[in-house]
Amino acid sequence: MNETTTLPDIPLPSGIRSRFVEDINGLSMHVLEAGFESKGRPCVLLLHGFPELAFSWRKVMPRLAEAGYHVIAPDQRGYGRTTGWDTRYDGDLNSFRLTNLVRDALGLVSAFGYHSVAAVVGHDFGASVAAWCALIRPDVFRSVVLMSAPFGGPPRLAFDTADAPPRPKAEDPVHRELAALPHPRKHYQWYYSTRGANADMWHAPQGVHDFLRAYYHHKSADWKDNKPTPLQSWSARELARLPTYYVMDLAKNMAETVAEEMPSTEQIAANQWLPDRELAFYSAEYARTGFQGGLQWYRCGTSGLFTTELETWSGRSIDVPSCFISGRQDWGTYQRPGVFEAMQASACTRMLGCHLVEGAGHWVQQEQPSEVSRRLLQFLKQTAADEPFSA
């Protein structure tokens, strides 16, 4: 990646600054920060998802800072201006596993001088990191907000099997069945794990800017066919109900998939939540870095290489206060059948609310920042009395 000393300024609202924090679990971590003017504030840590950056929190950060919080949003490992991660497909996949991403977050909090934070807030894949932060270190991450990606709990160990006949591990037939549908399909997470996925997007025929424009549009409330409902099972028949940005046409890559839903010139001009001048920052960053860093996160999940490590927490739940925020037009809430319900029933034992925000698809904190900020501040107020602030 290019040297960060040559990078242009970030188009940030007043009150947010960009900085680097060195030696965070081997990273030089790029961080956006608000509420830094005075010491002694409780901290809120914001973790972005794919394909986003710390920049995705730009509309929420000033409102949290105005309410008295020190707000920290990093470019996570594999993203943006954070360096120190392996850029190669054949590089160190181990460093992208969830427990090491928790270590990144823990190191950043500690570097800023906090023994605990008021809340860790994660969106999309950042919600998975936030969930594991709260599960593994509840003493540090005193509450958690999950956005757009519910958490169903750790993978479970086999139970009461000592006297049972051994069973071979069952193969998941869903991918073979998706490919065999009359309209053949494939799941995006397994596509993201392929060697060619980065090049498909980084070198998209339409260019990175138009690729991202179509991708963000397709998953937003602006795409009028986003009308999510719960799926009944993890089966090809049910998964085929998902839009093609989740369950893709078998023969198409992601750049081709979203190109079919490219908004018109008029729609782009009318877009208030992600105008072209702001999208230009995303596209410049991804044109510089490519997408492989974020795609490594998906590979960790689909490969199954690190499941046994996560089974260490089998049977554990998130016991700190939690809440869930998603766009009502976001299929992410339901893309894994039963997980939204399991989160509320057992995975999070102190769930204070699930909020589906009208007029928002997947990019909820960008599409409806006022309502997201209101919900975050409401949650922080609810939880403030639970635990003393610990800087």
Residue 5 within any structural domain of the chain: no
Other C-beta atoms closer than 10 Å to the C-beta of 141 total 26
**Is 142 found in the same domain as 39?**
yes
pLDDT digits (tens, 9 = 90+) for 137-168: 999 999 999 999 999 999 999 999 999 988 88
- ∠ CA 18-23-29, rounded to 5°: 30
Residue after which a domain boundary falls, among 271, 295, 319: 295
DSSP string, 218-263: HTSTTSTT------SSSSHHHHTTS-TTTEEETT--HHHHHHTTPP
Residue 119 within any structural domain of the chain: yes
Residue 231 within any structural domain of the chain: yes
**Is 58 found in the same domain as 93?**
yes
Residue 269 within any structural domain of the chain: yes
- Please say if the pLDDT value at position 381 is more than 80: yes
Residue 159 within any structural domain of the chain: no
**Coil, strand, or helix at residue 187?**
strand
- Please say if the pLDDT value at position 111 is more than 90: yes
- Please say if the pLDDT value at position 389 is more than 60: no
Number of folded domains that form the chain: 2
Range 282-306 average pLDDT = 98
**Is 146 found in the same domain as 15?**
yes
Give the closest residue to 82 by CA, choosing from 140, 12, 32: 32
**Is 289 found in the same domain as 315?**
no
- Residue 294: the pLDDT is 98
Reported confidence tier of residue 387, pLDDT bands at 50, 70, 90: low
- Please say if the pLDDT value at position 204 is more than 90: yes
- Residue 165: the pLDDT is 87
- Residue 5: the pLDDT is 57
Residue 391 within any structural domain of the chain: no
- Residue 194: the pLDDT is 98
The CATH number linked to 352 is 3.40.50.1820
- Please say if the pLDDT value at position 289 is more than 70: yes
Give the closest residue to 148 by CA, choosing from 327, 322, 320, 297: 327
**Is 149 found in the same domain as 59?**
yes
**Is 201 found in the same domain as 75?**
no
- Residue 2: the pLDDT is 42
How far apart CA 167 and CA 163 sit, in angstroms, is 12
Range 91-112 average pLDDT = 97
The overall average pLDDT reported for the chain is 96
pLDDT digits (tens, 9 = 90+) for 6-59: 899 999 999 999 999 999 999 999 999 999 999 999 999 999 999 999 999 999
Residue after which a domain boundary falls, among 270, 295, 320: 295
- Residue 390: the pLDDT is 52
**Is 179 found in the same domain as 287?**
yes
How far apart CA 283 and CA 287 sit, in angstroms, is 6
Cis? peptide before 275, omega within 30° of 0: no
Other C-beta atoms closer than 10 Å to the C-beta of 237 total 13
- Residue 366: the pLDDT is 98
Residue 162 within any structural domain of the chain: no
pTM for this prediction: 0.96
- Residue 167: the pLDDT is 83
Burial class, 351, CB count within 10 angstroms (exposed 0-12 / middle 13-18 / buried 19+): middle
- Please say if the pLDDT value at position 171 is more than 60: yes
Q: How many residues does the chain have?
A: 391
**Is 315 found in the same domain as 290?**
no
Percent of the chain with pLDDT over 70: 97
Residue 3 within any structural domain of the chain: no
**Is 235 found in the same domain as 317?**
no
Structural domain boundaries, residue 65: 11-154+306-384
Q: Which of 1-5, 52-56, 246-250, 354-358 has the lowest mean pLDDT?
A: 1-5
- Residue 6: the pLDDT is 80
- Complete edge-to-edge strand list for the sheet that includes strand 144-147: 16-24, 27-34, 70-74, 43-47, 119-123, 144-147, 322-327, 351-357
As given in the structure block, the two tokens for residue 229 are: 């409902």
| Sign for the pseudo-dihedral over CA of 233, 236, 240, 246 | positive
**Is 317 found in the same domain as 291?**
no
What H or E segment, with its residue span, contains residue 121?
strand 119-123
Residue after which a domain boundary falls, among 295, 321, 349: 295
Residue spans of alpha helices (H) in the chain: 61-66, 98-111, 125-136, 174-179, 188-192, 197-202, 207-218, 236-239, 254-259, 265-270, 276-289, 292-303, 307-310, 339-342, 364-367, 369-384
As given in the structure block, the two tokens for residue 222 are: 């602006």
Which residues, 6+ apart, have CB-to-CB distance to 163 below 8 Å? none
- Residue 203: the pLDDT is 98
**Is 322 found in the same domain as 274?**
no
**Is 147 found in the same domain as 43?**
yes
pLDDT digits (tens, 9 = 90+) for 328-349: 999 999 999 999 999 999 999 9
Residue with tokens 């290019």: 2
